[in-house]
Amino acid sequence: MAPNQSPISQAVLLAGGQGTRLRPLTYRTPKALLPVLNQPLISYELILLGRYGVSEAILTTAYHADKLRPALGTGRRWGLRLTYVQEERPLDTAGAIKNAELLIAGDFFAFNGDLILDCDLTELAQAHRQAQAAVTILLRRVEDITHFGLIQRDDRGYITAFHEKVPDDETGQNTVNAGVYVMASEVLNHIPADRPYSNETDLFPALLEQGLPMYGHLPAREGYWTDVGRTETYLAANRDLLSGQLPWANWPECSADQAKDDVTIQGPTCCGEDVSIGAGAQIGPFVTLGHDVQVGERAALRDCIVHPGAVIGANAALESVVVAENEVVADGHSQTRGVLCTYEP
């Protein structure tokens, strides 16, 4: 049951990117399917939409598009209908939305596909309709704006300027683009068909220049937000969720049932199915073990994400490392930070 039914029933999730900053992990797996607490990254957006009664999510796909439908299915497990639209060639964010035009009816949400967040979608939809905006952008305040798109507003909340990755905000507001939007369907008429077109650098500045009303919504309650765009933020999201920062996330902890004698498990941890942990191993804190993972005797893992099927050798010591699917980590291997992945395309 949705906690607070949204008046908007459709969402477009942008899942066609190549995830270049997460390579080599994304050479074989689209970013949307990277496991976070052993669930696909995109599933956290689907859970959020289902919680607010959104009935259809349109997934725009391009890179590794063939892997998404078998992994995500119809969307029924999240309480909505999942529809897939594939790009013949990459169309960027606005171009991907335009490519789904025939499926869109009325106002709709649009999400960058690499987000994990907790926000009130009903409040966002109501703010959009009250403002009678063409586009409403979810905002958040940050201390360091250099990695984000700065958005400035007037005293009523209407957007007056976009600045990409500037060093400071002279207004002191430090409000940046959170990657979640509400769009009126008429906006689709302003996006050219069949060519790359960006929300951030093409569409939004053009709408502002044409005088269309654009609203910046800063929520009354600041919920959890992260984008999983780099290895560092991927590991940080794992730590955050294991720490309980996303209130509705849940997962199975590692337990003695999966472990041999003398294993030390320091929570919080997350453990998949059919995991084997050798005698004397040390697991945690902030470790996620995927399905069918084998951890060798006396191995030590801390602040790690281990993808399904990986084998961690005896006496290996890993900290702040992501281990790729089916990777074999040599006995005694020691590493702090980074990715263990020998696969090359």
Average pLDDT over residues 273-290: 93
Residue 333: phi, psi to the nearest 5? -65, 135
Position 259 scores a pLDDT of 66
Q: Which domains does the chain have, with CATH numbers?
A: 10-230 (3.90.550.10), 256-340 (2.160.10.10)
What pLDDT digit, counting tens, does each position of 66-118 carry? 999 999 999 999 999 999 999 988 899 999 999 999 999 999 999 999 999 99
**CA gap 99, 195 in Å, rounded:** 10
Residue 35: band (very low, low, confident or very high) from pLDDT cuts 50, 70, 90: very high
CB distance 279 to 6 below 8 Å: no
CB distance 171 to 118 below 8 Å: no
CB distance 217 to 124 below 8 Å: yes
What pLDDT digit, counting tens, does each position of 133-159 carry? 999 999 988 877 777 778 888 989 999
CB distance 160 to 154 below 8 Å: yes
Q: How far apart are the first and last CA of the chain?
A: 43
Residue 57: phi, psi to the nearest 5? -115, 125
Position 96 scores a pLDDT of 95
Average per-residue pLDDT for the chain: 91
Q: Exposure pattern of 124-137 as b/e (b: 16+ CB <10 Å)?
A: bbbbbeebebbbbb
What pLDDT digit, counting tens, does each position of 202-229 carry? 999 999 999 999 999 999 888 999 999 8
Position 256 scores a pLDDT of 67
Average pLDDT over residues 58-63: 92
Secondary structure (3-state) at 137: strand
**CA gap 13, 230 in Å, rounded:** 19
Statement: the pTM of the whole predicted model exceeds 0.85: yes
